[in-house]
Amino acid sequence: FRIMAGKVKWVTDIEKSVLINNFEKRGWIQVSESEDWNFYWMSVQTIRNVFSVETGYRLSDDQIVNHFPNHYELTRKDLMVKNIKRYRKELEKEGSPLAEKDENGKYIYLDFVPVTFMLPADYNLFVEEFRKNPSSTWIMKPCGKAQGKGIFLINKLSQIKKWSRDSKTSSFVSQSSKEAYVISLYINNPLLIGGKKFDLRLYVLVSTYRPLRCYMYKLGFCRFCTVKYTPSTSELDNMFVHLTNVAIQKHGDDYNHIHGGKWTVSNLRLYLESTRGKEVTSKLFDEIHWIIVQSLKAVAPVMNNDKHCFECYGYDIIIDDKLKPWLIEVNASPSLTSSTANDRILKYNLINDTLNIAVPNGEIPDCKWNKSPPKEALGNYEVLYDEEMAQSDGLDRDLRSRSGQCSAVKGNRTRDSGKPVLTTWK
């Protein structure tokens, strides 16, 4: 039988040997040089081909693939923001308490992505926003690239016009540019440790979108810049100050090849508990969980919930100096390359635990099973949200009277005002 099928390329940053070891360990295959078949971990491009109407592929019940057909609704930077904005509007129309705004018109509970516009389509809207605060810094990212490629910071409108000319974009009111970009308000007050900026890479496994069932991997990590942070405009071009991507930082003079500029999430938690206190640290991590669940709920209605699919996403979260978390982006193919010994152990375990949930007990895959594995199969994963369970408990219908008590995620969530933060899994 095949768990991942098709004559496809391996995702470039996945260590084939790790996957093969996992398959062999379960007794699924015996790999030798003479074999003319194999298991495949599909790239996002191959997934598009497999589910394309033109190809006519049909997956059988014992075939499972590692992406949803239109995963890009969450993992393309522009579509993620578009879907979250739509989700907010829908909740507003429904009169949901989750869409409540403050006196300045900002969402109280759903303000977790920086102000973002699409270029060239939203250029005029961006200019209007920019002129409200001309001293602000913005970050531009190509919608379909990863590893920090094509990213740059700007603080003048003239820089946008220069980019427009350089990229041969004929007009901001047309869709003629080769590549769409997003431009987001730069988080210029990041939480610093040792004077350096960092972000969180967290792994989230989704086994089904309808009903939504997702798992948080407990062994995420922080990625640090190699150069101390400064908001100075003279350093806007220094990506070693601003971008945490390992693909960029590993080329810096101060990059440490032993620890790779990484901390485990547990070390970050310990540091925050000792410097800020346990209560605010628990609140921070609970808010991170809240962001992840809401982002998944935002795309669930438009996601093609094919029964053959599961997906492990790489969430990038930045924490500001007020301990407010921000969702930066979601990766469809988070790097599984190991840059350090600890990295290799973490990612080996990640693949192992992911496969144990996708195919419990190493049995022959069956896409018709209810995708609710036994607790002992979770490994380092923990259930983040189970929509079926939440609905059966009547928790989603009881939002207005909730006091912020938590069942699926530890800790209570209240803001400085003492007002309870409403959640959808509690």
pLDDT band at 81 (very low <50, low <70, confident <90, very high): very high
Which of the four pLDDT bands, split at 50, 70 and 90, describes residue 224?
very high
Average pLDDT score over residue span 3-26 = 48
User: Does any domain span residue 181?
Assistant: no
Those residues whose C-beta lies under 8 Å from the C-beta of residue 247, and which sit 6 or more positions away, are 147, 148, 149, 335
Report the DSSP beta bridge partners of residue 385.
214
**Model confidence at 3, in pLDDT bands (50, 70, 90)?**
very low
Print burial letters for 167-180: b (CB count within 10 Å at least 16), e (below 16).
Answer: eebeebeeeebeeb
Look up the CATH number of the domain holding residue 354. 3.30.470.20
- pLDDT for position 210: 92
Average per-residue pLDDT in the chain?
A: 80
Q: Within this chain, do residues 52 and 201 fall inside the same structural domain, yes or no?
A: no
Domain final residue, candidates 41, 70, 99: 70
Cα(406)–Cα(414) distance, rounded to whole angstroms?
Answer: 12
Task: Judge whether 236 lies within some domain.
Answer: yes
- List % helix, strand, coil for the chain (3-state, nearest 5): 35, 20, 50
Arithmetic mean of pLDDT, 353-357: 90
Q: Which of 146, 145, 164, 144 is nearest to 154 (CA)?
A: 164
Q: What percentage of the chain carries pLDDT values higher than 70?
A: 78
Residue 18's pLDDT band, with cuts at 50, 70 and 90, is low
Let me know the angle formed at the C-alpha of 176 by 172 and 178, rounded to the nearest 5 degrees. Answer: 110
Closest CA to 95 of 347, 410, 400, 349: 400
pLDDT category at 63 given cuts 50, 70, 90 is confident
Is 169 domain-assigned?
no
Largest distance between two CA atoms of the chain: 69
Residue 182 has pLDDT above 60, yes or no: yes
407 domain-assigned: no
Of 27-31, 164-168, 232-236, 422-426, minimum mean pLDDT range: 422-426
Residue 352 lies in a domain: yes
- Is the pLDDT reported for residue 159 higher than 60? yes
Torsion angle, alpha carbons of 333, 336, 337, 340, to 10: 140
Residue type, 174: S
pLDDT at position 23 = 55
Instruction: Tally the domains of the chain.
Output: 2
pLDDT at 232: 79
Residue 29 lies in a domain: yes
- Name the token pair of 134: 């001309």
pLDDT tier, 178 (very low <50, low <70, confident <90, very high otherwise)? low
The answer to whether residues 212 and 63 belong to one domain is no
Class of residue 277 by CB neighbours under 10 A (exposed 0-12, middle 13-18, buried 19+): exposed
Which phi and psi angles does 177 have, rounded to 5°? -70, 150
Q: Which domain holds residue 46?
A: 9-70
User: How many other CB atoms are there within 10 angstroms of residue 283's CB atom?
Assistant: 19
Q: Is there a domain that residue 267 lies in?
A: yes
- At which of 70, 85, 104 does a domain end? 70
Helices (H) and strands (E) in the chain, counts: 12, 12
Distance CA 52, CA 72 (A): 14
d(CA 327, CA 394): 28
Question: Which pTM does this prediction carry?
Answer: 0.83
Residue with the bigger pLDDT between 15 and 247: it is 247
pLDDT value, residue 222? 92
Which residue did the predictor score with more confidence, 309 or 19? Answer: 309
Cα dist. 285→10, 32, 173, 319, 338 in Å? Answer: 34, 45, 41, 10, 26
> Could you say which of 25, 48, 70 is where a domain stops?
70
Work out the pLDDT band at 297, boundaries 50, 70, 90: very high
- pLDDT for 4: 44
* Inter-residue contact 339 to 250 (CB < 8 Å): yes
Looking at per-residue pLDDT, the higher value among 307 and 172 belongs to: 307
Give the Cα separation of 275 and 281 in Å (integer): 10
What is the mean pLDDT of the segment spanning 63-88? 94
Which DSSP category does 156 fall into? S
| Whether residue 63 sits in one domain with residue 197 | no
Cα–Cα distance between 334 and 69 in angstroms, integer? 17
Average pLDDT over residues 381-407: 65
Rounded Cα distance, 42 and 138, in Å = 35
DSSP letter assigned to residue 362: G
Instruction: Quote the pLDDT of residue 272.
Output: 97
DSSP 57: -
**Residue 104 tokens, joined:** 């300045």
- Whether 168 maps to a domain, the answer reads no
Q: What is the pLDDT of residue 22?
A: 59
Confidence band (pLDDT; 50, 70, 90) for 235?
confident
Same domain, 61 and 208: no
The reported pLDDT for the residue numbered 273 is 97
Region for residue 56 given its phi and psi (left: phi exceeds 0; alpha: psi -120 to 50; beta: otherwise): left
Question: pLDDT tens, 190-218?
Answer: 999 999 999 999 999 999 999 999 999 99
Distance of alpha carbon 372 from alpha carbon 350, whole angstroms:
18
pLDDT at 284: 97
Tell me the CA distances in angstroms from 130 to 106, 117, 154, 156, 223, one per residue in order.
17, 11, 11, 9, 30
